[in-house]
Every structure is written in structure tokens, then in C-alpha cells.
Amino acid sequence: MSATAPARKPRRWETLRDQYALDGYLHALGHQAARRLLPLPTGDRPHWDDRTKLAAIHSLADEFARLDLDQLRARSLALRDQIQAGRGLGDLVAPAFALVRETSRRILGLYHYDVQLLAGLAMCRGGIAEMATGEGKTLVQSLVAYTWALPGRGVHVATANSYLAERDQEFSRDLFAALGLTSALLPEKTPGPAKRAAYAADVTFGTGTEFGFDYLRDQLERFRHDRPRLGERFARAALGQPPVERAGLSQRELAYAILDEADSILIDEATTPLVISRKEEGPHRQPAPFLVARAVAEALAEGTDYTPPVSGRPVRLTEAGRERIAGGEFPVPWQELRRPWHRYVENALQARLRFQLDVHYVIQDGKAVIVDEFTGRARPESSWKDGLHQAVEAKEGLTIQSESDSAASISRQRFYRLYENVCGMTGTAIDSAGEFWEVFRLPVVPIPRNKPDRGAVLPTRVFVSEQAKLWAVVRDIADRRHRGQPVLVGTRTIGNSEKLSALLTASGIPHRLLNARQDAEEAAIVSAAGTPGSVTIATNMAGRGTHITLGPEALEAGGLHVIALEIEESRRIDRQLTGRAARQGQPGSSQVFLSADDFVIRHYAAAEAERLAASRSDDHGEVLPTGRWPEIFRRAQFRAEKTRYEARQGLLRHDDWLSETKRRL
């Protein structure tokens, strides 16, 4: 930088000099690899003492309790006036929190606990608050959203799905209105006045995906307009109209973002970029190549013509396989193809060998619909790229849709780094604390529970086969149901949920099944999972964020019991499931069932899976109690996590490279 160049404006994360950023997060990260990824800020540190802030909030409680709602609203508007007069937002955190707390007591009948106030303080400083399931994250969200809305620049509250966005907006709408702020629910896939009105509100609720897509739509809109002539610019200003370059835009600016279930938005979904596509027809958009590629793939030999599908690696043609498909044995009658012929065949192999019906996709209305591997929800708006989706359609004998071209794209990591201020909350963040800091400069703050944890984690049970495991789960469910204890079973795939459902039906055990086929009933099914003696099977984390109510009878029977039918490719997903038990100091329990046929060990420790299948077991197929096999599963899970982390980093590096290339051009 030259001597005359202006000083660079410090980035938001460079102003984080809090004590917890220097002490607590090193303890939270723990391992040496994460320490190396943690370039902690240096220099003078202003003191953000949570105890002092908490005392300041409490000191205002009695004063605000004597005010009526009109007076509370007047105090709220006075805070906004102070911000506009130039007072720092940090100086007003305590009165802002105290106002929300008292108004919430009047409007919602809910009064924030101290731990919720602590979570809100951590988030206001740009952190991710890790709060256990059931600790009231939605109420915490209201503290931060109100405080950040005071400058009038707009706050985006991003959730993992549209149900949560609608629920949270309805929950806090009257609270914000009483404080003189506006809130709105972001409509999906409907650009125009309704969307612009939602963004004009003080607080806008929507899915993280929709916020990103709206940013891309706005970028496309910018490129559609040439720079206006000077006279036109003055004319629009005189008429009070927005400039041409903003006339068709939805978003105002990317100022403040609050991420509910931050790990789902920033990590689980980060392996796929946000892409706006457009379908194009043409001579090379014909379905015949996909059908021929399917037939060719069926004739090839594993090992000789293509690599076997192991350890999460894509199937690839060998050198011999490429030569074979290029020879006269499989003539290709097309002069013009969208991509090299061997890519069509490799896609067909991927569709046949790696992509499973009711695991990776379902068939709805004659179309192959992707299933979100982390939530278990169908995603009809999404499709696999580079001809892979068409290869799956050919495999299933469906009508092959036209391919799409990318009109605009951005990685989720880069999109959320565009916001000036970001914070989040989730029940499972510590396991990814290093990545949160490395990529987003978001420190993770563990928040204590309001009441002691009464949950029991039962020993992991391991079986030589999937069938033996499923029958053991059925017997366990039958015993608990007889005692009146409600049971929630989490499965990784739709197929596994339906296998267990079939065995329960055959055993005469009534139950409710939730997977991508019943997505519309999600909240109702999960909320009823606490009924005494009920049995609920939920695909992965479907229904995440839905409150499960337990009555006295269910609590007397031991509270909610959660069964994990296998471990996931991320420890966080396991914790999300088992964290549904023993909420808010209630009794509850959880247990994991594993087998040699489980996905994680089969794909990331195939040799160990074979040894487990051949192990000595009892009459029910359960191996002798030992700590060896659970540890082997954990090591396989670590390999899966590493593979996904590297994929996210590769996507981010590619996106950053594209951004830098465009900037230079």
C-alpha cells in the first residue's frame, strides 16, 4: 500500500477484541489443528464484560416494569433516535435488551432467562451461541433482531426452512410491533413488489437459501440495465423514483444477518453453491445420449472398465474403459454433444451405482426429486448439474428434462461473508468451531443450560447385520411403548425409515412415519412425538426446530427416548438428533444402534465392516459389549467429516478464484 493510499476500513471480525474471543474459544476449539486456524485479533481490547451488561439489564427491569406499553414504545423509538444522532449501538445494548425483555413479558408472556440474555450478548458481538435444544433460541433471536434493527438498515433472519421462517415471524411479529418496528416474511420465488416490501421491513424472516437467491437475482437485474444517461438520472431523482440500477432490485443492502441453525446454513448446506439456472433447448439437448449411456454403463465391468464406488469417491472410467467406449463396440451417432462422451457414461455409472432411490432422491409426479441428505426433505427446486440429473432420470425410465445453464452462482460461504455483521445460534457448533472461525471469523460461545441436564446416554449397541439391528430396535421400542415411554427414531435415509416401519407394522406396533414423502405434515408429526407410548420415525433431522411437548405421564415414564438408527457423516448431526431428548431439564434418554451394513463404515472403513460382519455375536446378532467397534465407527465418521470439509474448502477456493478473476477483468 502506498503512503498516500487511504487506510483500509477494518473488517467486522477485526474489531472483535472480546475476552471470550481470546480465552473461551481456544478452550472450545481445543485441538492443535484448530488453534493453527485461529488467527486471533491483537491490540487493545475494549471490555465487553457479560456480567456488567447483565447487571445493567437487570438494573432497568424495575423501571421498565412500571411503564405501560405506550411508554415502552416511546422508549424504543427514543433509542432509534439516539442511533440516528450518532450514538454507538454498543452503548444501547443493555436498554435494548431490557425493553425487549419487559415487552415480551407483556405480549408473549415470556421473560428471558439470564442464559438467554448471555446468548443474545454473544450474538450481538458477532458470535455463534451454542444453546442446547429446547433452551429458547427463538426468544433469544428477538433480542438480537431488535437491537440490530435500531439503525434502520434492515435485519435478515435466515432459517433452515420456510416452516421455521414463518413460525418465527409469527412468534415475534406482535413483539416487534409493540416496540415500533416492522417485520415481514420473505415470499419465495415471487420477485416484485411483495418481495421488495418484505425487505423494506426492519426485520425480514426467510430461508437462508432465498436470501442468497435474491442476491443473485438482483445481480442479474443490475446487468440487464446499461448505465443510465445523466439526464435520466436527474429526471428520476426529481420524480422521487429510485435510480435505474436499483429500480428492479429487491434487497436494500446486506447489513445484518442472524442465522438460526447456523451450522445447517453455513456448513451442512455449504457443499452446494447457490445457482440460478435457465433451461435451454437445442440440438444437443436431446435425451437419446443419456439412454445410450445408460445401456453402455450396464455393459461395463467393474475394476476393468471403471473404478469401484468406494470411500465417497466418484466413479471414473479407467483408461481401458475410455478406449472401449470410444471404439466400435458402442457407436455414438451424434456429431454435437454438450460434453465429452465419456462424461455421459460416467454420469450413468454414478446414477446406477451411487445414487439410490429413497435415499438420494424420490419420485414425485413422474420426476426425480432430490432429497436433502441433512434434513430428509424433498427439494423439487433443485437438480444435479452437468447431466447427472438426466442420467438419474434415464436410470428410472422417467421423462428426461432439458438441462439447465447457470445464469448466476455463488457459494454460501462467500454470500454470507458479504454481510457487514453476522451472528448465529444452534445447538451444535463446537465441533465445527475451527471452521466457523477460519471461514467466517465467527467465534463459538457455549451457553450453559438454564436447568441441569437430566438426560441419560445409554451404551451403543453393535450388530453384525442391518436386519439384526432393526429387529433389536423393534424389541426395544415394544418394551418402552409398553411402559408408556414415547420413542423418536432418527434414520439416515427414507429407505431405512420404511424398512423399520414395515417391521413395526408386522409386529403390530402403531407408529407415525415422517420422511420426504410426508413433508407437509412435518411439524404436526414431530410435535406429537411426546405423546405417552407414541412411536415416531423421522428421516434424519426432519422437523428440526419443532417443539416436542411432554405431558406428566410421558415424563413419569422416563421422558422422550431417542434412537439413532446409525451414525451420520457428521458428529453434529448425531448431536442434533440425540439432543431432542431431555430438553429444559426434563428426563430423557438416547441410544445409538450400529451394524456392519451402515453407510459410514461401509464407505469409509470397508475392511472393518467386513470384519464386523464376520464377528462372533449372540443369538440376536449383537456383538459382545466392547469399546472397540464404536471407536472404529467414530474413526470412519472422522474420515467422512474430513472429506466433506475438503469439499467445502475446494468450493470456497474456486468461488474466491472466480470472484478475483472477475474483479481483475
Q: In the prediction, which pLDDT does 538 show? A: 85
Q: In the prediction, which pLDDT does 12 show? A: 39
| Phi, psi (rounded to 5 degrees) for 581 | -85, 150
Strands 367-371 and 361-364: antiparallel
Paired with 302 in beta bridges are: 306
Question: Helices (H) and strands (E) in the chain — how many of each?
Answer: 29, 19
Q: In the prediction, which pLDDT does 656 show? A: 77
Query: Looking at this protein, which amino acid is placed at residue 58?
Result: H
Question: Is residue 240 exposed (0-12), middle (13-18) or buried (19+ Cβ within 10 Å)?
Answer: exposed
Identify which has the larger pLDDT, 51 or 196: 196
Tell me: pLDDT of 410 over 70: yes
Neighbour tally for 472: CB within 10 Å: 17
Q: In the prediction, which pLDDT does 34 show? A: 32
Q: Position of cell 468451531? A: 433
Q: In the prediction, which pLDDT does 539 show? A: 77
Tell me: pLDDT of 2 over 60: no
Q: In the prediction, which pLDDT does 189 show? A: 76
Kindly indicate the confidence band of residue 59, based on its pLDDT and cuts at 50, 70 and 90.
very high
What percent of the chain clears pLDDT 70, i.e. is strictly above it? 83
Opening angle at CA 115, ends 109 and 117, nearest 5: 70
Model confidence over 177-212: pLDDT tens digits? Answer: 999 999 999 998 777 899 999 999 999 999 999 999
Identify which has the larger pLDDT, 500 or 12: 500
Kindly indicate the confidence band of residue 50, based on its pLDDT and cuts at 50, 70 and 90.
confident
- Range with the lowest mean pLDDT among 9-13, 144-148, 446-450? 9-13
Q: Mean pLDDT throughout 28-52?
A: 39
**167 Cβ contact list (under 8 Å, min separation 6):** 138, 523, 545
User: Are the C-beta atoms of 202 and 155 separated by less than 8 Å?
Assistant: yes
Kindly indicate the confidence band of residue 543, based on its pLDDT and cuts at 50, 70 and 90.
low
Tell me: pLDDT of 489 over 90: yes
Provide long-range contacts, Cβ within 8 A and 24+ apart, for 182-189. 186/210, 186/211, 186/214, 188/162, 189/381
Residue 372 to residue 581: CA distance in whole angstroms: 24
Tell me: pLDDT of 32 over 50: no
Tell me: pLDDT of 138 over 50: yes
Question: Each residue of 561-571: b (16+ CB within 10 Å) or e?
Answer: bbbbbbbbbbb
Q: In the prediction, which pLDDT does 378 show? A: 75
User: Are the C-beta atoms of 513 and 498 separated by less than 8 Å?
Assistant: yes
For residue 124, what is its C-alpha cell? 450481538
Q: In the prediction, which pLDDT does 225 show? A: 64
Q: In the prediction, which pLDDT does 21 show? A: 38
Q: In the prediction, which pLDDT does 234 show? A: 53
Average pLDDT, whole number, for the chain?
83
Nearest Cα to Cα of residue 560 among 547, 542, 541, 544: 547
Q: Mean pLDDT throughout 611-634?
A: 89
Helix axes 93-107, 69-84, angle to 10 degrees: 150
The sign one gets for the Cα dihedral 38, 642, 157, 221 is positive
Q: CA dihedral defined by 37, 645, 19, 89, rounded to 10 degrees? A: 120
For residue 517, what is its C-alpha cell? 414423502
Q: Mean pLDDT throughout 369-393?
A: 82
C-alpha distances (whole Å) from 337 to each of 202, 286, 321, 332, 433 are 50, 9, 19, 10, 45
Opening angle at CA 162, ends 158 and 165, nearest 5: 50
Tell me: pLDDT of 28 over 70: no
Model confidence over 148-175: pLDDT tens digits? Answer: 999 999 999 999 888 889 999 999 999 9
For residue 38, what is its C-alpha cell? 485461529
Residue 59 to residue 55: CA distance in whole angstroms: 6
Tell me: pLDDT of 63 over 50: yes
For residue 355, what is its C-alpha cell? 445414487
Question: Is residue 626 exposed (0-12), middle (13-18) or buried (19+ Cβ within 10 Å)?
Answer: exposed
User: What size, in residues, is the chain?
Assistant: 665
Q: What are the structural domains, with CATH classification, of the chain?
A: 12-226+246-274+412-446 (3.40.50.300), 281-402 (3.90.1440.10), 454-645 (3.40.50.300)
Question: Is residue 467 exposed (0-12), middle (13-18) or buried (19+ Cβ within 10 Å)?
Answer: middle
Model confidence over 297-339: pLDDT tens digits? Answer: 999 999 899 998 765 578 899 999 999 998 878 877 666 788 8
pTM attached to this predicted model: 0.82
Q: In the prediction, which pLDDT does 624 show? A: 82
What percent of the chain clears pLDDT 90, i.e. is strictly above it? 51
- Range with the lowest mean pLDDT among 41-50, 101-110, 323-332, 489-498? 41-50
C-alpha distances (whole Å) from 190 to each of 167, 196, 197, 210 are 20, 10, 12, 10
Q: Mean pLDDT throughout 567-577?
A: 88
User: Are the C-beta atoms of 344 and 293 separated by less than 8 Å?
Assistant: yes
Tell me: pLDDT of 387 over 70: yes
Question: Is residue 385 exposed (0-12), middle (13-18) or buried (19+ Cβ within 10 Å)?
Answer: middle
The top-scoring range by mean pLDDT among 211-225, 281-295, 466-480 is 466-480
Instruction: Give the E-state strand segments of 540-617 in sequence order.
Output: 560-564, 587-595
Model confidence over 232-250: pLDDT tens digits? Answer: 555 555 555 555 445 578 9
DSSP 530: G
Q: Mean pLDDT throughout 361-389?
A: 82
Question: Each residue of 343-354: b (16+ CB within 10 Å) or e?
Answer: bbbbbbbbbbeb
Kindly indicate the confidence band of residue 438, based on its pLDDT and cuts at 50, 70 and 90.
confident
Kindly indicate the confidence band of residue 442, based on its pLDDT and cuts at 50, 70 and 90.
very high
Residue 617 to residue 612: CA distance in whole angstroms: 10
Q: In the prediction, which pLDDT does 61 show? A: 95
The top-scoring range by mean pLDDT among 10-19, 95-104, 265-274, 509-518 is 95-104
Kindly indicate the confidence band of residue 408, based on its pLDDT and cuts at 50, 70 and 90.
confident
Q: In the prediction, which pLDDT does 336 show? A: 74
Tell me: pLDDT of 405 over 80: no
Q: Mean pLDDT throughout 577-602?
A: 92
DSSP 548: -
Residue 273 to residue 655: CA distance in whole angstroms: 9
State the number of CA atoms in the 13 A half-sphere of 440 facing the CB. Answer: 34
Tell me: pLDDT of 391 over 60: yes
Identify which has the larger pLDDT, 644 or 637: 637
